[in-house]
Chains A and B, each alone.
Chain A
Amino acid sequence: MTLIRRLVQWFSRRPRAALSAQLAGPFGWILLIYLGSLFVLLLHAFWVKDSFTGKVEPFVWTLEAFGQVLGNPVYLTIALRTILIATLVTLTDALLALPIAYYMSRVASPRTRAILLVGITMPLWASYLVKVYAWRTILQGNGLLSWLLGPLGIDGPGLSEIWSTWLVLSYLWLPYMILPIFAGLERIPNSLLEASVDLGGSAGMTFRRVILPQLLPALAAGSIFTFSLSLGDYIVPDLVSDAKFIGNVIYDNSALGNFPVAAAFSILPVVIMLIYLLLARRAGAFESL
């Protein structure tokens, strides 16, 4: 104990040294392990898998992996499909989250609000895979959805169509959209809305011209989760549909030991996310995270 005490005492008189000591662990970890391995991944994109031994040849530089990715039209389809579904999931979640967040923030009694908040938080803590699995049982050919739709003469999407992926991803990330929007609505003062109504603004106009602009940072913050988590998912597309996502290409190639192609294709979601993050930061999302 005295040793620790003397150490802490020594550092407390030397703020620069204290800063370095505090930074060394966490930033060493993030820089070395996280950014370091991202860099190794990037290097892999310029290496090649030896077709004879099946092993990656490190430090033999080539653009072959990029050729394989760009030369395969299926990869382009998969990339566009992934971006489209991630966008649709984000829009769906925003549409579902706005009314419930608005209800919680402005209509519900404090007691109802507290119950709803816990109710929305609970599913967030339930296992991701368990929720996907539950949807699989609902969507499967002899499951609840077919049982409900059957008498109406409608076929459910089953476990093959892309719409199952859209539905399950929208379900999974919905709470991540509701919570920041709710927090964003709580920050809008009531007087602003009253002023808009007093000045003759209709409900729709008040929503568009007063609420929505103020909510932009919160929407951007929520959309980081819904978009990014959808963009990188490979388990949901694998388990509830036949339509592959960017993540499936990366996972399948890595399972075959084909790291160069997986690495080359990984650059796409990273670049998309970096652009998205910079745009979201501009919209003030980081203060609402």
Chain B
Amino acid sequence: MVESRLVRMILRVATAFVMAFLYLPLVVLGLYAFNESKLGAWPPTGLTLKWFGEAAANPAIQTAFINSLIAASCATLIALILGTLAALAVQRHNFFGKNAVSFLFVLPIALPGVITGIALQSTFKLFGVGLGLGTIVIAHATFCVVVAYNNIVARMRRLPRSPEEASADLGADALTTFRRITYPALRTALLSGGLLAFALSFDEVIVTLFAAGAGTKTIPVWIFNAMQRPNELPVVNVVALVLVGLSIIPVWIAQRVSGGEAARGGRY
């Protein structure tokens, strides 16, 4: 321990401050969901559960929720398949342009989402592709592939080749080796990559607003629109709190699977 007592004190206070900053909005949100008043003024006037009932009975929210589930499931499936293939190609082979390829695979998450959004929208319009759930899936899969790939390739980098070679030496064919050796070793990386991709897609709004068109709403798009109508705010508070609650599920699964590493994209 090289830090002086004073330095440790300061670090402790700074840490407490940052954690309070990170959780303040979530706590405020939690309080507002139970707020009796329709007006969003602080402090809340009384406690009620009535907005939960209203939110659950709202057909627009139900449709948006189902749309979000469909879009996130499809995007995650595409992302896992393509991400695994890309990781196998980059990790198991040497080829010309491999570095350029890995740079290419950073772009969809490194370039601003607004660029991805406008690029896809202008292309869909040019080719006469109708905007809807299909275009949302295409847009989401594009950045979900990158997330899945990052998770899987990070795992493969750490995997020794010897078990696969032993399997082949012992007479297993390529499919058996993949099924019995490679896949089990990758399983938790696939799970965490899939969770991350699903959560990203489920929450995405920046690209989605471009890809969704006028008729199709996902949960974030619904919130975005409802937020600008004052009399819907109590219901928005409830949906927002439920979404925060739901986000505990993937963190919990990731924690069970890999001691939390998976929740941070398998990297930290």
Contacts and interface: CB of A to CB of B under 8 A. Distances in A.
A34 B116 contact: yes
B85 A22 contact: yes
A91 interface: no
B138 A33 contact: yes
Interface in B80-117: 81-83, 85-86, 88-89, 93, 95, 101, 104-108, 110-117
B110 A25 contact: no
Contact of A125 (B41, B104, B122, B263): B263
A121 B254 CA distance: 11
Contacts of A178: 18
Contacts of B25: 131, 134-135, 138, 171
Nearest to B195: A125
Interface residues of A, number: 106
B93 A19 contact: yes
Interface in B1-60: 1-4, 7-8, 10-12, 14-15, 18-19, 21-26, 28-29, 32, 39-43
A58 B41 CA distance: 50
Given A118-B260, A130-B29, A137-B28, A269 B240 contact: no
B256 interface: no
Interface in A13-69: 15, 18-19, 22-23, 25-27, 29-31, 33-38, 40-41, 44, 56, 58
A255 B149 CA distance: 33
Which of B40, B106, B122 has the most C-beta atoms of chain A within 10 angstroms of its own C-beta? B122
Contact of B14 (A31, A100, A263): A100
Interface in A196-254: 196-197, 203, 206, 224, 228-229, 231-235, 239, 246-247, 250-251, 254
Contact of A37 (B10, B21, B123): B123
B224 interface: yes
A179 B101 contact: no
A88 interface: no
B170 interface: no
A93 B203 CA distance: 23
A125 B142 contact: no
B120 interface: yes
**Interface SS of chain B:** helix
Interface in A113-170: 114, 116-131, 133-138, 140, 142-144, 146-147
B175 A9 contact: yes
**Interface SS of chain A:** helix
Contact of A26 (B86, B114, B150, B224): B86
A126 B263 CA distance: 12
A183 B268 contact: yes
B174 A12 contact: yes
Contacts of A44: 122, 126
A76 interface: no
A123 B116 contact: no
A247 B110 contact: no
B64 interface: no
Contacts of A228: 110-112
B85 A26 contact: yes
Which of A26, A179, A239, A270 has the most C-beta atoms of chain B within 10 angstroms of its own C-beta? A26
A251 B114 contact: yes
Given A4-B175, A23-B89, A123 B18 contact: no
Nearest to B94: A19
A34 B107 contact: yes
A134 B29 contact: yes
A234 B122 CA distance: 18
B254 to A, nearest CB: 8
A75 interface: no
A235 B115 CA distance: 14
Contact of B26 (A12, A134, A180): A134
8 contacts: A22-B86, A26-B149, A27-B86, A34-B107, A122-B248, A147-B43, A228-B110, A270-B115
Would you list the 10 A-B pairs with minimal beta carbon distance, nearest first?
A232-B112, A12-B174, A134-B25, A26-B86, A99-B14, A37-B123, A22-B89, A41-B119, A142-B41, A26-B82
Interface of B: 1-4, 7-8, 10-12, 14-15, 18-19, 21-26, 28-29, 32, 39-43, 78, 81-83, 85-86, 88-89, 93, 95, 101, 104-108, 110-123, 125-126, 138, 141-142, 145, 149-150, 173-175, 178, 199, 202-206, 209-210, 220, 223-224, 227, 236-237, 240, 243-244, 247-248, 250-251, 255, 260, 263-264, 267-268
Given A114-B260, A254-B210, 11 more contacts: A26-B83, A38-B115, A44-B126, A121-B264, A127-B202, A127-B243, A129-B203, A137-B29, A232-B206, A254-B121, A270-B115
